[in-house]
Each structure stands twice: as C-alpha cells, then as structure tokens.
Chain A
Amino acid sequence: MFKILKKQELSEFVTLFEFEAKDIAKKAEAGNFFILKIHEEGERIPLTIADFDREKGTLTTVFQKVGKTTEHLGTLNEGDFISDVIGPLGVSSHIENFGKVVCVGGGVGIAPVYPITRALKEAGNKVLSIIGARNKDLLFWEDKMRDVSDELVITTDDGSYGRKAVVTVPLEEFLKGGDIDMVIAIGPAIMMKFVCKTTEKYNVKTVVSLNSIMIDGTGMCGGCRVEVGGETKFCCVDGPEFDGADVNFDLLMERQRMYPDEEKAAMERYTEAIKGGK
C-alpha cells in the first residue's frame, strides 16, 4: 500500500500526487515511469514519474482525468492509499552534455519533461524550453520549468496565456537559429508527431516518450507494441523514449484507441455509481 502525502489540483482536469514509494524513489531516474492499480478490481495503468525525492522516499506524478481509472484516482485524497505501485519501469533518459537542447512539454507531458530538463541542465546543456497547452487552465509548473531552463517559452492554443501558438511555432524559431543539438518532446501523440515533422526539416535528433496501453510493464504481454524504424518494439522495456524520426505515430494513435466502447461503458457505469452515492 502506498500512501498519498500531497495532493494538488493543477487544473480542473490535471492532478498532482506526491506519494510514499521509498524503494522506487531510490532507483527512479528521469525518463522512467511506473504502473499503478488503485484497488482489487482496478486496471493497471502506466503514469509518468514527474519527480522523485530519494531522501523523503516519495514519487510525484501528474495525471489528467481522461477515463474511469484516472477519474477515480482523482477522488483520492492525502492520507489515502494506492493498492499497487510498480516501478521504476522503462529505460531512463540518456543524459549528457549535448550542447544546446530544446525541451518541449505539451499538456500533461510538461510533468515528465521536467525531470529530464533538470537533468540536462545539470549536465551542462544550454536548455531552451517550450511548454504549451490548449488554454491557461491546463498549464502548470511554469516556475519549475523556468528554474531549470535558460529560456522558457509558453504557448496556448487559444492565446489565454503566453503566446497564441502551438509548440511547433517557437520550436521552429529555435531551430532556425541553426545550433540546436537535440530536441526532447513529450505530450500527446499528435503533438510529438508534428514536433518530429518540424525537426526533420532541420535534421535535428528528436527524442520522444511514448504512452501506449500496457499491463505488466516488464515485457511480458506485448500490449504496448510500437513500430520504430519499421520494427516492432515494446514501449515498456525498449522505451518509453525513442528516436522520434523513426516512430510510426499513426499506429501509436490507432493502438491508443483500442477500447473506445469499453472505456465509454466503464466511464458511464462509474458516473452512475457516483450519482447513486456509491
């Protein structure tokens, strides 16, 4: 059982938890993820590690309420327990002094991009960061990102905060400067796809972190199959980070939509149960 120590509502849809996970925190690195299961009847879902504190023995995660399990998770409070937490999973980010890097976080993807940005900064890189969301309410961690970046650009689709643009607009401006050594982008699949299309023109290596459907997270089930460079890879053990130029994003998006009817049914049933006071 894993105790939630801190809960923070970052927006109507986005929640932060800091919870006890002593042994995982000891091993967690930027780029890792974990899997949780809320209770006996729950499903196993992968979530990103947004931060870790080895001394306190805690992990921080940020999640968006998009379905039954994340809605339910969002109802838990400080002092409540999560039944199962498994991690750290996935290959950690490759960190070194590349030179000048751009870190792009879109929506809830700002959370996992943060520890990577911090590690890149600590490794001596010049770090230019872009965080973007649909609107002001969905943005978070501007201060934290500013602390670990040499320059920070904020975008919103509707212009309610920062620049009215999608993240690829300031990204292209950085790329035009001609001295970018690497880009890392984490966000919705569609955003990562367009980031890669943008960087391709400038021939800049782009690392993306994929979020496929998973069960065990250890390579056993193969449910998280992604196509990279024409080969099938397992997101959980081969990734979650891959060279974005090689990723088949269309397939990723199709596979993310594997259970539309089931997701809808689960959500409706859950909403009914909440209304019924269960």
Chain B
Amino acid sequence: MEEKKKAKKRVQMREQDPLKRARNFEEVPYAYSPEEAMEEASRCLVCKRPACMGGCPVEVNIPAFISLIKDGKFVEACYKIKEKNSFPAVCGRVCPQEVQCEARCLVGKKGEPVAVGNLERFVADYEAEKGEVKLPEKPKPTGRKVAVIGSGPGGLTCASDLIQAGHQVTLFEALHKAGGVLVYGIPEFRLPKAIVGREVEYIQKLGVEVVVNAVVGRLYTVDELLNEQGYDAVYIGIGAGLPMFLGIPGENLNGVYSANEFLTRANLMKAYLFPEYDTPIKVAKRPAIVGGGNVAMDSARVALRLGAEKVYLIYRRSEAEMPARKAEVHHAHEEGIEFLLLTNPTGFIDDGKGNVCAVECVKMELGEPDESGRRRPIPVKGSEFQVEIDVAISALGARANPLLPKTMPDLKLNKKGYIMADETGMTSARGVFAGGDIVTGAATVISAMGAGRKAATAINDYLKWKYWDFRGPQ
C-alpha cells in the first residue's frame, strides 16, 4: 500500500525559499541528489511503446535514459540523451515538459507523471560536475562547409549535428556572446549562463568555429557566404527578433521597456551587477509587466530581484489562458508577484518630466473563442482605473526581424515576414535552410532545437546531391 502511494507523487526538487530567492539571481530549485534521482526514476514503468517519446520534438529515448538512472548509471544516462539532444542541461530546465513528454506519461494518468525534465537536468549536471563530458569520435571530413546563422538553441543544435556529420561549420552570432535567447533572454535564475557557456564550449570542442559580433545581412550577406566565402549551405536560425509594443499613448516615455531590452540589459549585459558592470537598468519600485508568457514571467521576476517593492503582472485574459510554463506561473505567485488579470493597459501617464508614473487600464471579460481557440477578451465599459508604476515592460511577443531576409531577394517570406520553409527547413533559395522562430513565429527552445536538427539532416542530404536540379519547396 505504502509503495503504491509513493509512486503516485513525484520526488519534488527542493527549492530556495521564495522570499529569499526573490532577492537573488541564483537558481530556484536545488538539483536532485543521486538517491532522489534514482527514486524518481523508479516510478517509470519503462513502457514497451513509450508514449512520452512521441511528445519529444527531438525524440529522446526517455525510458532508456531513465532505466540507466535506476541502475545508478548517471553518466551513461546522459550519453543516452545526447544521442538525440546535445543540450540536456538546457532542456531539462526550460522545456515545457508538462505539455510534451510528461503530458503523455502513463504514470501521469493516475498521479503525477514521471519528472522527465528534472531527471534530464540531473544527469546533465552530474556529467558536467564529474568532468566526464565525452566527445564523440571525430567523423571523416566531407570537405563541405556550412554557415549557421544565429547561435540560439536551433543554431547550436544544427551546428552540433553538422559538425558530427563531418562538415566544416561556422556559427555566426550578431551579439558579442553566443547562445541567443539562452543568453540574452532567459534569466540566470532559470538557466545559469555558465551552463550555456559550457554548451557553446562543447560544440567548439567538436570543431565548430564560433564567430561573434557578426551581423549577417550587414557584415556579410548570405549570397557572399555561398558565392565568395566558399560555404556550400547556410542555415538561418535567427529567431523572431523584433519586440512588439502595445501601440498605446505614452509608450515612448522613459521607463517603458520592451521585454527584449529589459532582459538583454539584465541577462546579457549583467545590469543586475551595475555598477560592477557598466550597463544601467532602471531599478523600479513598482514595475508593471504586460503579458502572460514565459518572457513576462521572466521579466517580472527579474524586476523583483533587482529590488522592486511591488511587481504587477498585467494580463488581458485569465490565468487559465496564460501561455507560460506552469512552473513559472507558480514560482511567480510564490514570490509575491501581483497578477492583474482580465486587465488591459490603455495608456501610460507622464510624470511631467518624460518618465512613466502610472498606467491606465481597463477591465476585460471573456467572450467567444477567437482564432487561437482561447476566449476573446472584451473591454468592460466604465471600468477604467490607474495603477501607479515607475517602470513598464511590454512582454507581448515578437515579430520577424527583416534585417537579414531583406538582403535576400530570392528568399520567399510569408505576409508577416517569416521565412517560408518546408518541413525539412528547405527555403526557396538554393542551399539555404531555415528553422525555429524565424519560420514558425515565437515558440519554444526545444522546438527550435527540433527544427535545427531536421534542417541538419536535410542539409546533409543536400550536400550529397548539391548539384541537383533545385526547384525549392513545392
């Protein structure tokens, strides 16, 4: 009886106390101990036809790696994951497991699903700590050269796969540090930058040349890479880079940030360590974050850690419709973020000196479902109210950045400016593949990794048949 009861609940990761962690940038959960990991692993039924794997965009052999954990073979478990996913330390932390592998777990039908993400994270950290990071054998060089543009999760995955196929790979990054959203977007307390640094080092050890400060489109065009610099193929994984704003009065007041800017200052530029680091950031007493996704949660929790007294999160629908990971919403609640739900900002108020001092809002109610399948929020007449704030952060999602695509006349884009690619990542331009947010619109780290992997496979094929009669995706 005792045994069965235990199996229903997963082994929780111990966490930093909410009030303490709200003032530091250290990670929220403490890792599993080896005993805890083995105990959690023992809950896995090792299904013959594992449903979990179908939920994983990169098809990690989940039952196999969990079985190895059961036997205490942690490093081997990590190698097993790395057969399919080069970056388990990242994915264990930021994948939305609750809607992927864990959502399909059989154990989850009658209790909590096996904590696949926590286990993945455990073995990745264990491998790194024990210094047993294994490099695969060097493949036979193919003599082909591939340029990967954008060093976010998609670019890292694509570069890692291509180098292991024997191609020469250069990874171009526009910022001064590689990692893309893993470095500028996701905060330290959710994904320590040392881990990202480790993953970038890993692909460098595999032989990938990483070139930072390279804004492709300005410094080099894709055409030049292919026709002058000797690259045989190009992968574009540049993400959806442009921030969206609300388009309401007062949005250009001082103190109104895009989440991109706020997070880039804090994460990439380490403004939370100002003045040891030179980049400043407004330390707000009462910041308001607008949005309901992971980026909104990250911005709210960064603002809190910078020293805010009260952090508001303004979202126009209800909590049920929030696209953020459940764990992030839960952590935000625990840390004392105040949720202003069914609320929409209509304007920012000037303090008379060009700084934001309040946000004007209107209450919303949910009507019929819209094209996203979620109930459409409608303003409630006469429900306007003001909230006193000193910083506002728009976390409303992103758009396609035209900087690179507009330099490629033969690259087909859709109406919103995203690159059109088939399911393998092939675009309308010869030798050019694309994937991740710049194709699909803003999505997740793991789906970008999945796209990077698929494109690497397609690029392998293309390089075998480079001189085929190219017609582009039909």
Contact = CB atoms under 8 A, between A and B. Distances in A.
Interface stretch (B117-125, B154-162, B251-259): B251-259
Contacts of A259: 280, 282
A87 interface: yes
B430 to A, nearest CB: 23
Nearest to A253: B354
A215 B261 contact: yes
B280 A223 contact: no
Which applies to chain A's interface (DSSP): helix, strand, loop or mixed?
mixed
Contacts of B218: 27, 87-89
A43 B279 contact: yes
B47 interface: no
A257 B252 CA distance: 13
B242 A220 contact: yes
Interface string B239-260: 0011101000001101101101
Given A41-B278, A84-B213, A216 B258 contact: no
A203 to B, nearest CB: 28
A220 B278 contact: no
A220 B176 contact: no
Contact of B241 (A220, A251, A255): A220
B264 interface: yes
B261 A222 contact: yes
Given A87-B219, A89-B215, A222-B245, A266 B278 contact: yes
Contact of B243 (A68, A217, A220, A254): A220
Contacts of B213: 84-86
Nearest to A232: B252
Contact of B176 (A37, A225, A257, A258): A37
A199 to B, nearest CB: 25
Interface string A19-62: 00001100100000000010001111000000000000000000
Contacts of B254: 254-255, 257-258
Contact of A220 (B252, B257, B260): B260
A216 B433 CA distance: 25
A135 interface: no
Report the interface size class on chain A. 35 or more
Contacts of B468: none
A253 to B, nearest CB: 9
A251 B241 CA distance: 25
Interface string B407-444: 00000000000000000000000000000000000000
Nearest to A39: B278
A85 B176 CA distance: 8
Q: Which of B220, B252, B264 has the most CB of A within 10 A?
A: B252
Which range holds the interface residue count of chain B?
Answer: 35 or more
B275 A44 contact: no
A87 B245 contact: no
Contacts of B251: 232
A41 B174 contact: no
B211 to A, nearest CB: 10
B278 A68 contact: yes
Interface in B253-281: 254-255, 257-258, 260-261, 264-265, 269-270, 274-280
Contacts of A265: 275
B308 interface: no
B212 interface: yes
Contacts of B282: 258-259
Interface in A247-269: 251, 254-255, 257-259, 262-263, 265-266, 269
A225 B269 contact: no
B contact face: mostly helix, strand, loop, or mixed = loop
Q: Which of B176, B270, B276, B354 has the most CB of A within 10 A?
A: B176
B309 to A, nearest CB: 18
A100 B232 CA distance: 48
Contact of A222 (B176, B258, B274, B278): B258
A232 B245 contact: yes
Contacts of B255: 258
A255 B257 CA distance: 12
A271 interface: no
Interface string B160-185: 00000000000000111000000010
A266 B278 CA distance: 7
A219 interface: yes
A219 B403 CA distance: 8
Contacts of A257: 254, 354
Contact of A43 (B174, B241, B269, B403): B269
Interface in B174-224: 174-176, 184, 212-213, 215, 218-220
A44 B401 contact: no
B219 A23 contact: yes
A263 B280 CA distance: 8
A221 B280 contact: no
Contacts of A198: none
Contact of A27 (B174, B219, B260): B219
Contacts of B278: 41-43, 68-69, 266
Nearest to A72: B278
Interface in A178-235: 215-223, 225, 227, 232
A83 B401 contact: no
Nearest first, the 7 A-B pairs at minimum CB distance are A262-B280, A254-B354, A221-B261, A43-B278, A222-B258, A84-B176, A43-B279
15 contacts: A41-B277, A42-B277, A43-B280, A84-B212, A215-B279, A218-B403, A220-B401, A221-B243, A221-B264, A222-B261, A232-B245, A254-B354, A258-B254, A258-B282, A259-B280
